[in-house]
Amino acid sequence: MSSAKPKLNPATFPRPPTCERTPRHLQVKWGEQVIADTKEAYWVLETYHPPTYYLPPSSMKIPLEKNSRNSFCEWKGIASYYDLRNPSSGEVVKSRVWSYDDPSGRFKDIKDYLSFYAGPWDCYVDGERVIPQPGDFYGGWVTSDIDTTSVKGAPGTRHW
């Protein structure tokens, strides 16, 4: 008898998406520098997407600088973007962190919470280094408990 947990299948995630607290331990590291660390995050689950995690501003260990970029999500509203400077090297990475200043209805809980693309830093869920969702448009984090056969983002998956 196998003790392996069944994988989460993004094809069965809801549409419209849901936003829920997650008990998982999330970390973002740039080399040895911890950028963020929390067990107080939310995850957004949306059909054909691995979870997108939103970390509380209090989890940040280094400052962010809001920039002028924004984008629109049909579910959450207008996203704001941030630049982050590596305190060790001085390198600045632009627009790889985002949040919602005034999210719509069911997403009010993630107001001002921060989401990270998985790169150029390393992101971890319960100590497991994540793989970025394919493509550069979506910000989902793929872990070993995600069935990747139904993950959107790679070429040819746009209109699933």
Cβ-count burial of 23 within 10 angstroms (0-12 exposed, 13-18 middle, 19+ buried)?
exposed
The one-letter code for the residue type at 7 is: K
Please report, for the domain that includes residue 47, its CATH number: 2.170.150.40
3-state class (DSSP) for residue 127: coil
In a domain, 2, yes or no: no
Above 60 in pLDDT, residue 19? Answer: yes
In a domain, 144, yes or no: yes
Tokens representing residue 111 in the block = 């107001």
The predicted-structure confidence for 120-145, as pLDDT tens digits, reads as follows 999 999 999 999 999 877 899 999 99
Q: Domains in the chain: how many in total?
A: 1
* Predicted pLDDT at 84: 96
The one-letter code for the residue type at 46 is: E
The predicted-structure confidence for 72-114, as pLDDT tens digits, reads as follows 999 999 999 999 999 888 999 999 999 999 999 999 999 999 9
